Amino acid sequence: MSEAGNHAELTRRRMLQGAGVALTAAVGTAVLGLAGPTGTPAAAAGPGGHDTFDEVYRGRRIQGRPAASGHHHHGADYTVQIDGEELHVMRNADGTWISVVNHYQSHQTPLALARAAVVELQGATLVPIA
Amino acid sequence: MAVRKNQATLTAKEKRDFVDALLQLKRLGRYDAYVATHNRFIVSDTDNGERTGHRSPSFLPWHRRFLLQFEQDLQSVNPSVTLPYWDWTADRTATAGLWADDLLGGNGRSGDNRVTTGPFAAGGGQWTITVRPDSRDYLRRSLGTGVAQLPTRAEVESVLAVQTYDAAPWNSSSAGFRNQLEGWRGVNLHNRVHVWVGGLMGTGMSPNDPVFWLHHCFIDKLWAEWQRRHPQQGYLPTAATANVVSLNTAMKPWNDTTPADMLDHTRHYTYDSAF
């Protein structure tokens, strides 16, 4: 992805982030989010957000899959690995995702989150989760 | 009474004393404990589980207590030091004095985002990043790339106008002042500033960048400003609520301080001006 393309992607994410739409469907919580400045309806992570993925992105192997039973640490029901090291991830109430290296910026799917982490890491390796 | 000042108004000596106290806490090994504590909370605070430091009503009193402890630690090194704040609605470019060599140093260089100027640059040997998410041990920033613009004064005003402190379900999906200030909903204030700075400020180990304290000091000031404008409003929830710190519940990790204890900052410090 070009630098300009990457910036456009980040900007798009920001717009989506501000849009606050669906909350966790499973619990049917009322929508309390306020429309962001853009008013763009965001497609929160639907079923596709929980798909397994395994790809090489910018030279790094990124993998994601639903967490095995008993692996639900810190509220995550999904694990992401970069070159075999686990990336700490968390799901927000609206279905979006954050990680330890992007903790203040929500992404729509675990795949988008993993790719953003690869960009942020610039080739660095993750420290194993304690 | 200690006065917390706008960083843009600090004298050369005040800047030097603040920087020296930060470097001393780092040298003594005390600084990194704050980084570890912050990360421990940020990875365990979840929307549907126990939440104390973030994405919850206690975001504001928790950080007020966290900053107070850190400020007291700085004062144990130099009693004249107080935390300055960064009004990012006013000082909103990478060329602001905040990022000069006599305070926090500048932006990260292109390529690896390494900060190469100022007291916290890796080359100075005084600021090795030890509590970190990845293999890089140097301070990184990428000002204005994760998001182009810092919040404006008008955006801050729109959030200060929100009447209710917080609302069920008391998390990142809540309506109310706290969540709009934190930034998970609405125009996005606090979260956006972390993203704007980039580098370690975008991670759970964000206190690795000393700008963390100046950012949160301004967030703390905005809470005080909201209280001033809405004297009839107060911290919520007041009644015991599962997984959430209510008004009179002690907060981890201190277990001796409730949100109620943190409502009046003038018991500890004042600010140099209203917002």
Omega prior to B253 cis, within 30 of 0: yes
Contact present, B24 and B115 (Cβ < 8 Å): no
B192 contact residues in A (CB cutoff 8 A): 14, 104
Instruction: Report CB contact under 8 Å: B134, A126.
Output: yes
Contact present, B251 and B257 (Cβ < 8 Å): yes
The pLDDT tens digits of the residues spanning A88-103 come to 999 999 999 999 999 9
Residue A15 pLDDT: 37
Closest Cα in chain A, distance from residue B78 (Å):
33
Q: Which of A18, A92, A120 sits opposite B188 (nearest CB)?
A: A18
Closest Cα in chain A, distance from residue B119 (Å):
24
The SS3 call for residue B53 is coil
Best mutation target among B109, B114, B149, B172 (most A Cβ atoms within 10 Å) is B172
Instruction: Report CB contact under 8 Å: B46, A20.
Output: no
The nearest alpha carbon in chain B to A21 belongs to: B173
Q: Which of A14, A23, A100 sits opposite B43 (nearest CB)?
A: A100
ipTM tops 0.90: yes
The pLDDT tens digits of the residues spanning A43-88 come to 344 434 468 999 999 999 999 999 875 544 555 689 999 999 999 9
High-pLDDT (> 70) share of chain A, %: 54
φ and ψ at residue B135, rounded to 5 degrees? -70, -15
What radius of gyration, in Å, describes the C-alpha atoms of chain B?
A: 18
pLDDT at residue A12 greater than cutoff 70: no
The nearest alpha carbon in chain A to B147 belongs to: A11
Any B CB within 8 A of A10 CB? yes
Rounded CA-CA distance A65/A50 in Å is 7
The pLDDT tens digits of the residues spanning B208-246 come to 999 999 999 999 999 999 999 999 999 999 999 999 999
Counting as low any pLDDT under 50, the low residues of chain B are none
Q: How many CB pairs under 8 A join A and B?
A: 116
